[in-house]
Amino acid sequence: MSKRPNILFLSTDQHSWNALSTHGNSYLHTPNIDRLHRNGTSFSKSYCSDPVCAAARSSWATGLYTSETGVPFNGGHLHPDIPDLGQVLNANGYKAFHCGKWHVPGRDVRESFRTLYYGKRNIGAGGAAYYDSASTHAVANFLTTYDADEPFYLQIGYIDPHDVCEYLHNHEEKHIPNPVEQGIISEDALPPLPENFNYDERETVLHRVCRRVDDALIHAAILKAVRGWDELQWRYLIWNYYRFIEKVDAEIGRVLDLLLQTSLHENTLIIFSADHGEACGSHQMFQKFTLYEESVRVPFIVACLGDGICVKKHKFDETHFVSGVDVFPTVCDYAGIEAPEGVQGMSVRPFVEGKEAPWREHVYIESNYWGRAIITDGYKYVTEYKPKAVGDFLPPGPDAEQLGVEQLFDRQADPGETKNLAGTAGYNEVIKACREKLLAQEAELHRRQIVHPNSQRVIWNWSERLRAYWQRDR
């Protein structure tokens, strides 16, 4: 690589790792993301830092975990003194551009990036039908006219398949018959129910209060609706989800085709990932917000359509645990820039080039402020912190005495996470080891008090509900 490369970061929203045809899913067709795989390295053990939009994106922007960024949920607010990727790149010889969804509350994207398309009114959580094609058009103009001497970094935040959420919201106020009754589609055309549709009900209190109880903290109206669904309605949700993915795959294809029509493609590194996944019926769950695999495991591909950058092509990396915090240091590595002090992630560049480097033995995930997970080769450990009686708005941890319900899943014998092994004879040492990994990981974090009043209000309201359930259970 004779000069610093252009870097293109393509992201989709709410896109699970297994919802790609290149990953063996025969119920959808993603030829353009598949093209990235053929021209690069796909990381099979790739996970978000937190399974919700704003939180995960704050990790992309900073290389930090969400208890450090100030955005541990969608109502968070990025700490103002944390440098973001655009600021770092612009200060070190790159021109940093943004197009599409940003969704990092507390940081005006226009002050950190040159925006190709963001609108007078900020692009929100959804609206792919309006925004995604407009983003592609803006990128088309950029790629065909860029002639600056400096290399560029361009991140394109596509919204689909997030609009599956809008499909779900349609069911909040009315009963919609299944699609076969309506004559929309034949049963044979629908994907099957997930094998892990049924689930072990011994879940964390946090998960139950947020997603299972009648007055759930998150999307209670949708929960009420799906409880009355039959099997065909769940399968139609999956069918719709796959169509949204195919729509965004087509947008990505247009960008790749445009890039190939320019000389830029020889020296442009492409990173593709998603902020988090989508449950899509697994564990009778919808959307994200959970620590189950479908919500936290995401695609992560590093590619180059030309030969100007060293990239191992058509390769699955099934060895290394990758996290959303790794996007920032990976970009910095390729850009020849030292990542800011305190960044938690690491660059995946050595593995893309077929080299070895010291690496983590597990991945760490946070969720809904109090939720935590540790994933190793053998097991997934899920737990929670109990809300404090007197809240100090400091994200919890490490505090062994404050840990709540635990879940343990054997990743080899039970990949669908249907049998919680916590409390089962013979697994105490495994749980102890996972708990120690969690506490050690959290001891390395620079957790900071949440100071924004709106964020404090969310924490206070949620903690009141959670404490009430803990007291009832006790």
Give the DSSP letter string of 224-246: HHHTT--HHHHHHHHHHHHHHHH
Report how far residue 132's alpha carbon sits from residue 329's, in angstroms, rounded to the nearest whole number: 27
Tokens representing residue 156 in the block: 């394109």
Angle of helix 31-38 relative to helix 231-260, nearest 10 degrees?
A: 60
53-66-6 Cα angle (round to 5): 70
CATH number for domain 6-165+235-352, candidates 3.90.1070.10, 3.40.720.10, 1.10.20.10, 3.30.450.40: 3.40.720.10
Domain residue spans of the chain: 6-165+235-352, 363-473
Cα 447 to the chain's mean position, in Å?
21
Q: Do 328 and 85 touch, CB atoms closer than 8 A?
A: yes
Q: What is the dihedral of CA 182, 184, 187, 188, to 10 degrees?
A: 160
> Which residues in the chain come in under a pLDDT of 70?
1-2, 119-120, 473-474
Q: What was the pLDDT predicted at 389?
A: 82
Q: What was the pLDDT predicted at 158?
A: 97
Residue among 276, 212, 204 at smallest CA distance from 12: 276
Report how far residue 41's alpha carbon sits from residue 64's, in angstroms, rounded to the nearest whole number: 24
Q: How many Cβ atoms sit within 10 Å of the Cβ of residue 215? A: 9
Report how far residue 378's alpha carbon sits from residue 409's, in angstroms, rounded to the nearest whole number: 9
Strand 315-317 and strand 322-323: the pairing is unpaired
Tokens representing residue 238 in the block: 């999956």
**Does 6-165+235-352 match 363-473 in CATH topology?**
no
Report how far residue 153's alpha carbon sits from residue 290's, in angstroms, rounded to the nearest whole number: 32
Residue among 330, 274, 268, 275 at smallest CA distance from 39: 268
Q: How many Cβ atoms sit within 10 Å of the Cβ of residue 444? A: 10
* Alpha helices (runs of H) in 70-169, residue ranges in sequence order: 85-90, 109-112, 128-145, 164-169
Report how far residue 143's alpha carbon sits from residue 261's, in angstroms, rounded to the nearest whole number: 9
CATH number for domain 363-473, candidates 3.30.1120.10, 3.40.50.1100, 3.10.20.520, 3.30.160.270: 3.30.1120.10
Q: What was the pLDDT predicted at 119?
A: 66
Q: What was the pLDDT predicted at 390?
A: 77
pTM for the predicted model, two decimal places:
0.97
45-100: pLDDT as tens digits? 999 999 999 999 999 999 999 999 999 999 899 999 999 999 999 999 999 999 99
Angle of helix 128-145 relative to helix 231-260, nearest 10 degrees?
A: 10
Q: What was the pLDDT predicted at 457?
A: 95
Q: What was the pLDDT predicted at 440?
A: 98
Q: What was the pLDDT predicted at 138?
A: 95
Q: Do 151 and 205 touch, CB atoms closer than 8 A?
A: no
